[in-house]
Amino acid sequence: MFDGLKEKLGKFKSDVEAETESESDGAEPAGPDGEADTGSAAEAEDATESGATTEAEDATESGATTEAEDATESGATAGSAGTDDGSDGPGLAKKAALAATGRTIVTEEELEAPLESLELELLQGDVEMGVAREITERIREQLVGSTRKQVESGEQVIERAIGDALREVISVGQFDFESRIEAADKPIVIVFTGVNGVGKTTSIAKLSRWLEERGYSSVMANGDTYRAGANEQIEEHAEALDRKVITHQQGGDPAAVIYDAVEYAEANDVDVVLGDTAGRLHTSNDLMAQLEKIDRVVDPDMTLFVDEAVAGQDATNRAKEFNDAAEIDGAVLTKADADSQGGAAISIAHVTGKPILFLGTGQGYEDIERFDPDEIVDRLLREE
């Protein structure tokens, strides 16, 4: 997962590094007549190569602040109050001052083309438009005017800005799912909703296994009472996992099925009720009314929206529509292992204000993992 997005972010890092390096190469200190003082630069270079310590280095090593550093910290350039060209950005003199202390600065001009390219690449990778813009703006805010010390590489500075921007966008609403299960009065009721065929029932089975591995018992309830074969499907999962499943006849009341499951859990000290529901569109008035009835009758502790990661922009739009129609508490993305872009995973939390909680990563019951924003960002930025 995320191979396409990882490639796009890697290209952005390279583009910014190339821009800043080219600008830095051309920023030579200005001489008294306003032209670049190449002689002085050469002398400084000779002194460095011969092992001699420059006055600036002596001052730095002794703990004193050089004139160049004073100019940088006060915002003034060497010999001028603004920039060399009268603009608000840093001029050549300030860049020279920064270079003397082993630091560089990133300008908005250097970032403009790479950020435009990144935004376009994110959109092509199924990242929602507002989210793509939010990411690039956050990167711009962190990088423009930033300086780095000599011990840092340009890549480290850029990577940190990208990581912070992504983390802020995809961490929206995150909570510790296991801690919430542990703290809640039992049984805790979780209802799963979403469009047809995205893997709700399989996700219920996977989560039942995930809970068992952490010491929690669960019962399944088939609130998908209209689809032919729905009872058989969930019963197969329950048999494979040795779980109790509550079902009614086809066409029955979904709220009544889940209510019966809650009563069973209370009578048998079961920790979690996992309730399936019929696949629906947010525009299906009858089915949305069913969700409202489940809310009234059962009052679930969580409603989780399930969709396929490979649906990309469609999954993001549906998550927003479901949250608007019947408020969700979080999302589960299936088929994450088949999604090379990651656009839905990057977008859903920011668009809905509700977190992605789990990723389905394969066909087995064990193929489910918690969505950890820090791990996702690390995966996107990690060098293979």
Domain span at residue 344 reads 177-371
Q: Is residue 351 one of the residues assigned to a domain?
A: yes
| In the predicted structure, residue 21 carries a pLDDT above the cut 50 | yes
In a domain, 120, yes or no: no
- Asked if residue 153 belongs to a domain, the reply is no
- pLDDT for res 43: 43
Residue 33 lies in a domain: yes
Cα–Cα–Cα angle for 172, 133, 122, rounded to 5 degrees:
95
In this structure, the answer to whether residues 198 and 80 fall within a common structural domain is no
Residues 227 and 341 occupy one common structural domain: yes
If asked whether residues 72 and 206 sit together in one domain, one would say no
pLDDT digits (tens, 9 = 90+) for 173-228: 899 999 999 999 999 999 999 988 899 999 999 999 999 999 999 999 999 888 88
156 is a domain residue: no
Partnered with residue 82 across adjacent β-strands are none
pLDDT > 90: what percent of the chain?
Answer: 34
> Does the N-terminal peptide bond of residue 114 adopt cis geometry, omega within 30 degrees of 0?
no
Q: Of 71, 105, 139, which closes a domain? A: 105
The CA–CA distances, whole Å, from 357 to 124, 156, 175, 279 equal 25, 29, 8, 20
Q: Residue 95 in contact with residue 71, Cβ under 8 Å? A: no
Q: Are residues 213 and 298 in the same domain?
A: yes
Query: What CATH number is associated with residue 260?
Result: 3.40.50.300
pTM for the predicted model, two decimal places:
0.73
Q: Answer whether residue 365 is part of any domain.
A: yes
Number of domains making up the chain? 2
Domain boundary among 105, 128, 150: 105
Do residues 322 and 203 both lie within one domain?
yes
Among the listed residues 140, 114, 127, 116, the one whose alpha carbon sits nearest the alpha carbon of residue 4: 127
Are residues 86 and 216 located together in one domain of the fold? no
Whether residues 358 and 269 fall in one domain? yes
| Strand ranges across the sheet with 218-223 | 245-246, 218-223, 272-277, 188-193, 302-308, 330-334, 356-360, 368-370
Q: Cβ(283)–Cβ(261) under 8 Å? A: no
Residues 125 and 4: their CA atoms lie apart, in Å, by 7
Same domain, 245 and 344: yes
In a domain, 144, yes or no: no
Whether residue 185 sits in one domain with residue 85:
no
Q: Which tens digit of pLDDT belongs to each residue from 61-98?
A: 444 444 444 444 444 433 334 444 444 455 555 555 55
- CA 93, 116, 317, 312 dihedral sign is negative
Query: What pLDDT, in 10s, does the model give residues 117-173?
Result: 888 888 888 888 988 899 999 888 888 766 655 445 566 777 888 888 888 889 988
Q: What is the pLDDT of residues 286-345, one digit of tens each?
A: 777 888 888 899 999 999 999 999 888 889 999 998 888 878 999 999 998 887 778 888
Q: In this predicted structure, what is the pLDDT of residue 155?
A: 67
Tell which of 70, 105, 140 closes a domain. 105
With respect to residue 1, please indicate whether it lies within any of the assigned structural domains.
no
Same domain as 262, residue 346: yes
CA 29/CA 75 separation, integer angstroms: 17
Q: Can you tell me whether residue 33 is helix, strand or coil?
A: coil
Cα separation, 226 vs 279, in Å, equals 10
Do 281 and 200 fall within a single domain? Answer: yes
Residues 277 and 367 in one domain: yes
